[in-house]
Structure 1
Amino acid sequence: MTARLGTGLDDRLPDVVALYRDLHAHPELAFAEHRTAARLAERLRALGLEVTTGVGGTGVVGVLRNGDGPTVLLRADMDGLPVAEVDTVAHRSRDTAVGADGVTVPVMHACGHDTHMAALVGALACLAADRSGWSGTVVAVMQPAEEVGGGSRAMLADGFLERFGPIDVSLGQHVTSAPAGHLYARGGVFMAAADSLRVTVLGRGGHGSTPHVTVDPVVIAAAIVLRLQTIVAREVAPADTAVVTVGSLHAGHQENVIPDRAELKINVRTFDPDVRARVLAAVERIVRAEAAAAGAPEEPVIAPLTDFPLLVNDVEATERVRAAFAAAFGEDAVHEAPRRSGSEDFGCFGEAAGVPSVFWNFGGLDPDLYAADAQQPEAAVASGRAPGVHSPHFVPTALDPVLRRAVEAVLVAAGCWLAD
């Protein structure tokens, strides 16, 4: 496949860019990707794939057969985020949606899933149009709800493997804040496990002038926030890694009313199952202990929100893909990725099927933003020169190099198994 890299891509790239702009302008939240799924199903049918919709909710699966050979799963995710996009491109999103909590929010493809979908459709168009250089079966997965960690599991629970398996390898990619044209991969543990919890602290409300007859949940919540910071500093070994974040804290409505409850949302990220268990146990211990120390009338309620498994790349398969990338694009364009504390549910497909998984990143922004530091693009994000993913500014502007390389990467990686 490397020798046939990008066959017909020059002619198809304008259509890939147009699809990207359409998807970018009309993002949808997790498990609500109805327009997106319909547009993708229409495209895949036009390419001659066998298309199934409604898999795991809004998921779309397209199957492209070309004789005997391996079955390769290629995955792209579909959902956007509740983020208000800044006005930098003509195709920016102006859409809103009603979130799970009933609140209307702006929606944006701030994580770049629009590039993943457009690139996969572009790669499928190349494979469908010229079948002379490959053989086997491609199972194209347009997955819902990656942002909440439930999409791949929903598709698997809907009989994905029984309906579309068996598969031999699972491949996926994700845009990142890095220079266009560059690729980043690593074997072994690549992305963190993530656990999100909702904690409700139950106190006893009353008037702000008589705090002595209340049990103030705001004070308990504040103590919990501060105490949680000691988990990483004092309970996780220096050689290990963990992140504990309180991203949301809500209590009360008026300054002279002590509320009867406070709600915290906590996110934990880890790279090791034992560390994960210890950190989660410490979170629960601290929450309950601070409530008890304050004399709370009831135990706090701790409820899980979302969880992502570790993303682990098969070492041998990843090296196979990395070597193919280097042969196709040059060693200077292919980098060893660091372990990322972000999380993904892509690995659920390969884990459930018992086959190798390979997941890589591709650069999504203007190379000039990163100076000469393609190997460590995080420095440009930390300095503010370049936006990171989930930012309202994360919008690829150099679409040809970004989408061209994303399509090429899918073709090269799939070719490691499909090429004659």
Structure 2
Amino acid sequence: MTPAPSVAATAHTLAADHDRPAIRALYEDLHRHPELAHAEHTTAARAAKELRSFGIDVTENVGGTGVIGVLENGPGRTVMIRADMDALPVQEATGLAYASRIDGVMHACGHDMHTAMLVGAAQTLARGRSHWSGTVVFVLQPAEETGTGALAMRADGLLERFPQPDVLLAQHVSAGPAGLVAHVEGPVLAASASIDIVIHGRGGHGSRPDTAIDPIVIGAAVVGRVQTIVAREIAPRESAVVTVGRFQAGTANNVIPATAELGLTVRSTSDEVQDRIVTAVRRIVTGECAVAGALAEPDIRIVKSLPATVNDTGTTRRIARTHQEMFGAAHIIDPGPAMGSEDFSALAVRPDGTSIPYHYWFLPSTTALVWDAAPGASPLEKFAQVPSAHSPHFAPDPAVLDQGIAAMTGAVLTELNQPT
């Protein structure tokens, strides 16, 4: 008796059947016509049309411009896979033949590639129904870049209106040599918070600082002091960052302004550490204002907050094993957690508050030409030199489309194959 093919072998067979020219054309078209968060109307309509052409049940306008496709194929587990769709307000400088035609807007984070990969995986799984059983839910999410899309879809009944998944999956292209797949157990992306601060002083003439309460001096003290949070309040084993990215005050050289505004980003790989850092920021700002005799309490407002992305260990190990068999062990890496942030994990909270296990992995996508030409003797040195996500020069290798479709297909089949 001939043994049944492995999940990896089946995934390779099914993924090889996707329509490469059509998926490549879809990717290039999406790249030419990027759309910002919550305005992904054409992108969503195009993706919905493609999913319907594979016989998938599609619902549009979920959480705004979100699209849900449901492919039911007998009894078994339910696997949800997600791709984000929105672009960034970046002027493209790649020089690609299919560069953005929208002034000041670019797919600088690879979401066009994620969308095309999900469509390719949907085609592969729809054509290969005889090789699996269960349900696959395809999620095309808006507004990842603003951190609002996942919550909007949840608020619109994502986990009540559609089959609730046993596991949630996503992948993301990144800088690094194309052909690798990066899996990280546990924390993979940081929690993040954007904090806006207004310091209230007393304005006055630059020649008479004794009659004023200078908010610039207070702000400068805050800038220096918050840098001690990670150095002196967070254990060295934890990863955390506090950055002041905005400091605005004053209109003239000889005028002490009445207010100063600061904008901070706070990131860590633990929600508990994140809470401690945000609390410390509040304490420091309030304290510096009190010491300087500020006329009013500072305004401290968290304008955006995202939870940490923490991969489920069992799911990560299963999918990494499948990808090792598919692509070769030498192509599977563990780069450790990154300090970027995502709203993906917000999709993994059930209506009762419990968590859905999930796995989020990376597909390095720098072309061999760019990688080889980058300065540096080591991979880390080269990594620091090649264009990364959000750069106007970010241009993933289109060959990674095939790998991403295969990787997603293998991950879905791996999880469908688990006991119910």
Verify same fold: TM over 0.5. Answer: yes
Q: What is the identity, as a one-letter code, of the residue corresponding to 2:102?
A: D
When residues 388 and 136 of structure 1 are mapped into structure 2, their CA distance, relative to the original with a 3 A threshold, is same
- Counterpart among 181, 184, 193 of residue 182 in structure 2: 184
Q: Is 2:410 aligned against 1:412? A: yes
Q: What is the identity, as a one-letter code, of the residue corresponding to 1:184?
A: A
Q: Is 2:240 aligned against 1:238? A: no
Question: Are the counterparts in 2 of residues 41 and 60 from structure 1 also a CA contact under 8 Å?
Answer: yes
Map Cα deviations across residues 224-250 of structure 1 (whole Å, 9 max, x no partner): 111111111122222222110111222
Comparing 407-416 with 26-35, greater Cα deviation is found at: 26-35
When residues 310 and 57 of structure 1 are mapped into structure 2, their CA distance, relative to the original with a 3 A threshold, is same
Question: Are the counterparts in 1 of residues 18 and 120 from structure 2 also a CA contact under 8 Å?
Answer: no
Q: What is the identity, as a one-letter code, of the residue corresponding to 2:45?
A: A
1:115 is matched with which residue?
Answer: 113
Q: In the TM superposition, what are the counterparts of 1:205-244 in structure 2 within 5 Å? A: 205-244=203-242
1:393 is matched with which residue?
Answer: 393
1:251 is matched with which residue?
Answer: 249
Q: Is 2:353 aligned against 1:379? A: no
Question: Are the counterparts in 1 of residues 18 and 123 from structure 2 also a CA contact under 8 Å?
Answer: no
2:336 is matched with which residue?
Answer: 338
- Counterpart among 133, 136, 145 of residue 135 in structure 1: 133
- Counterpart among 91, 98, 123 of residue 98 in structure 2: 91
Q: What is the identity, as a one-letter code, of the residue corresponding to 2:9?
A: A
TM-score normalized by the length of structure 2: 0.91
1:102 is matched with which residue?
Answer: none
Q: C-alpha separation between the residues in 1 aligned to 2:348 and 2:44? A: 23
Q: C-alpha separation between the residues in 2 aligned to 1:73 and 1:87? A: 33
Alpha-carbon offset, residue 120 of structure 1: 0.5
1:55 is matched with which residue?
Answer: 62
1:22 is matched with which residue?
Answer: 29
2:88 is matched with which residue?
Answer: 81
Alpha-carbon offset, residue 170 of structure 1: 0.6
2:199 is matched with which residue?
Answer: 201
Map Cα deviations across residues 149-194 of structure 1 (whole Å, 9 max, x no partner): 2211211111111111221111110111111111001222221111
Map Cα deviations across residues 6-32 of structure 1 (whole Å, 9 max, x no partner): 536466112111111121122222222
Q: C-alpha separation between the residues in 2 aligned to 1:264 and 1:135? A: 53
Alpha-carbon offset, residue 368 of structure 1: 4.5
1:304 is matched with which residue?
Answer: 302
Q: C-alpha separation between the residues in 1 aligned to 2:333 and 2:373? A: 14
Q: C-alpha separation between the residues in 2 aligned to 1:330 and 1:29? A: 37
Q: C-alpha separation between the residues in 1 aligned to 2:379 and 2:38? A: 32
Q: Is 2:72 aligned against 1:65? A: yes
Alpha-carbon offset, residue 94 of structure 1: 4.0
Question: Are the counterparts in 2 of residues 177 and 365 from structure 1 also a CA contact under 8 Å?
Answer: yes
Give the share of equivalent positions with the same residue, in percent.
48
SS at match of 1:244: strand
Q: What is the identity, as a one-letter code, of the residue corresponding to 1:354?
A: S
Question: Are the counterparts in 1 of residues 70 and 136 from structure 2 also a CA contact under 8 Å?
Answer: yes
Map Cα deviations across residues 55-85 of structure 1 (whole Å, 9 max, x no partner): 1122111111222221110100112222222
Comparing 246-255 with 192-201, greater Cα deviation is found at: 246-255
- Counterpart among 303, 308, 320 of residue 322 in structure 1: 320
Question: Are the counterparts in 2 of residues 6 and 408 from structure 1 also a CA contact under 8 Å?
Answer: no
Alpha-carbon offset, residue 114 of structure 1: 1.1
Alpha-carbon offset, residue 210 of structure 1: 3.6
When residues 404 and 377 of structure 1 are mapped into structure 2, their CA distance, relative to the original with a 3 A threshold, is farther
Q: What is the identity, as a one-letter code, of the residue corresponding to 2:35?
A: E
Map Cα deviations across residues 381-404 of structure 1 (whole Å, 9 max, x no partner): 32x2x11211111112x31x2111
Question: Are the counterparts in 1 of residues 27 and 112 from structure 2 also a CA contact under 8 Å?
Answer: yes
Q: What is the identity, as a one-letter code, of the residue corresponding to 1:27?
A: P
1:359 is matched with which residue?
Answer: 360
1:103 is matched with which residue?
Answer: none
Q: What is the identity, as a one-letter code, of the residue corresponding to 1:44?
A: L
Comparing 334-343 with 271-280, greater Cα deviation is found at: 271-280
Question: Are the counterparts in 2 of residues 6 and 126 from structure 1 also a CA contact under 8 Å?
Answer: no
Question: Are the counterparts in 2 of residues 177 and 378 from structure 1 also a CA contact under 8 Å?
Answer: no
Q: What is the identity, as a one-letter code, of the residue corresponding to 1:117?
A: T
Q: In the TM superposition, what are the counterparts of 1:30-41 in structure 2 within 5 Å? A: 30-41=37-48
Q: What is the identity, as a one-letter code, of the residue corresponding to 2:392?
A: P
Question: Are the counterparts in 2 of residues 187 and 314 from structure 1 also a CA contact under 8 Å?
Answer: yes
Question: Are the counterparts in 2 of residues 30 and 148 from structure 1 also a CA contact under 8 Å?
Answer: yes
Question: Are the counterparts in 1 of residues 94 and 395 from structure 2 also a CA contact under 8 Å?
Answer: no
Q: C-alpha separation between the residues in 2 aligned to 1:365 and 1:162? A: 39
Q: C-alpha separation between the residues in 2 aligned to 1:343 and 1:337? A: 16
Alpha-carbon offset, residue 197 of structure 1: 0.8
Question: Are the counterparts in 1 of residues 201 and 213 from structure 2 also a CA contact under 8 Å?
Answer: yes
Q: What is the identity, as a one-letter code, of the residue corresponding to 1:379?
A: E
Q: CA RMSD in A?
A: 2.1
Q: C-alpha separation between the residues in 1 aligned to 2:306 and 2:380? A: 23
Question: Are the counterparts in 2 of residues 370 and 377 from structure 1 also a CA contact under 8 Å?
Answer: no
Comparing 8-17 with 265-274, greater Cα deviation is found at: 8-17
Alpha-carbon offset, residue 212 of structure 1: 3.2
1:99 is matched with which residue?
Answer: none
